[in-house]
């Protein structure tokens, strides 16, 4: 069975294909926008007998600096697209087994924009994707 660390690192590896973004498999205390990090979500253990399958949810958060009204939103719109070079969904799903670490994964949803004040960084816009993994 895959460890949480292996899953996080596999997702971060897939996300590293997005140009000009700081990507971390772990929560960033001081993200430098644009940035993406990976957080564990809900885990359902023992979905098949004898530890055959766990269902893991990971949360992928992207931050962009909200210094320009239109520019920040255009950047997030690109990340929210279902396909393309800047698409978070497409990047995560580019290798759905994370190099053979998991059985499969699927990006289930993305939140809408939220604004967040990051100490030392100012106002950022945040979007969060929910990724379902069969580990």
Share of the chain above pLDDT 90, in %: 76
Query: What is the DSSP-derived secondary structure letter of residue 103?
Result: S
Measured CA to CA in angstroms, residue 31 lies from 62, 90, 114 at distances of 10, 22, 16
The total number of structural domains that make up the chain: 1
Alpha-carbon separation of residue 116 from 10, 25, 31, 41, 51 (angstroms): 27, 20, 12, 20, 39
Minimum mean pLDDT among 8-17, 38-47, 94-103: which range?
38-47
| Domain limits for position 74 | 4-134
pLDDT tens figures, 105-128? 999 999 999 998 888 778 999 999
Reported as a single tens digit per residue, the pLDDT across 21-52 is: 999 999 998 888 999 999 999 988 866 666 66
Question: Can you give the pTM of this predicted structure?
Answer: 0.92
According to DSSP, residue 62 is labeled: E
CATH of the domain at 27: 3.30.70.1700
């Amino acid at each position: 069975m895959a460890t949480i660390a292996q899953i996080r690192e596999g997702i971060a590896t897939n996300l590293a294909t997005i140009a000009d973004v700081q990507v971390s498999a772990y929560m960033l205390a001081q993200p430098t926008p644009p940035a993406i990090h990976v957080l564990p979500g809900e885990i359902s253990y023992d979905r098949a007998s004898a530890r055959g399958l766990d269902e893991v949810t990971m949360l992928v958060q992207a931050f962009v600096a909200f210094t320009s009204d239109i520019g920040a939103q255009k950047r997030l719109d690109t990340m929210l697209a279902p396909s393309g070079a800047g698409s978070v969904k497409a990047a995560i799903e580019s290798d759905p087994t994370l190099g053979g670490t998991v059985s499969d994964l699927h990006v289930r949803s993305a939140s809408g924009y939220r604004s967040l004040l990051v100490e030392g960084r100012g106002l950022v816009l945040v979007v969060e994707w929910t990724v379902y993994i069969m580990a």
